[in-house]
């Protein structure tokens, strides 16, 4: 019996970890909304889940959770290291102490193009569209 419970707990921990990256886009909290702007230092394209940007507007480093790569491609969005971007989104701290911003709106400089990632209720715009387009 104890072995079965241990196995179940281990399975749940592994399952939770494997879906953690997708969960990042689901924990948007309007109470923690901030706007930052800065240079894109790094771009992380995951095998699944949202594309991440490393932004350093000053001494702080933020990891910006954007959207799945297939959705960004649909919207004709391309990120380049060194470009400047303004991000409006929900800020939170990971267990490791990293500062994340879950993006709601991104503005690019130049030429001032912007993209909305969430609807007025802060739900991801790609939700319900994606599995067959990946």
Report domain extents, the chain. Answer: 24-133
pLDDT at 22 over 50: no
Q: What does the pLDDT look like over 28-53, one tens digit per residue?
A: 999 999 999 999 999 999 988 999 99
Structure tokens at 2: 């104890």
Q: Which fold has domain 24-133?
A: OB fold (Dihydrolipoamide Acetyltransferase, E2P) (2.40.50)
The pLDDT of residue 23 is above 70: no
Q: For 82-106, what is each residue's pLDDT tens digit?
A: 999 999 999 999 999 999 999 999 9
Residue 13 has pLDDT above 50, yes or no: no
Longest dimension (CA), the chain: 63
Average of per-residue pLDDT values in the chain:
81
Measured at the CA of 68, the angle between CA 73 and CA 112, to 5 degrees, comes to 55
> Do 95 and 23 form a contact (C-beta atoms < 8 A)?
no
Nearest-angstrom CA–CA distance, 133 and 31: 32
pLDDT > 70 in the chain, percent: 76
User: Is 29 or 16 the better-scoring residue by pLDDT?
Assistant: 29
């Amino acid at each position: 019996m104890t072995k079965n419970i241990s196995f179940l707990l281990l399975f749940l921990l592994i399952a939770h970890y494997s879906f953690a990256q997708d969960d990042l886009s689901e924990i948007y909290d309007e109470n923690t909304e901030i706007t930052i702007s800065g240079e894109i230092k790094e771009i992380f394209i995951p095998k699944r889940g949202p594309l991440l940007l490393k932004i350093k507007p000053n001494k702080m480093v933020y990891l910006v959770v954007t959207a799945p790569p297939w959705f960004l491609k649909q919207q004709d969005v391309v990120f380049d290291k060194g470009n400047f971007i303004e991000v409006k989104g929900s800020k939170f701290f990971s267990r490791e102490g990293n500062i994340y911003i879950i993006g709601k709106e991104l503005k690019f400089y130049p030429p001032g193009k912007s993209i909305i990632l969430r609807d007025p209720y802060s739900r991801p715009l790609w939700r319900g569209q994606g599995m067959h387009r990946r």
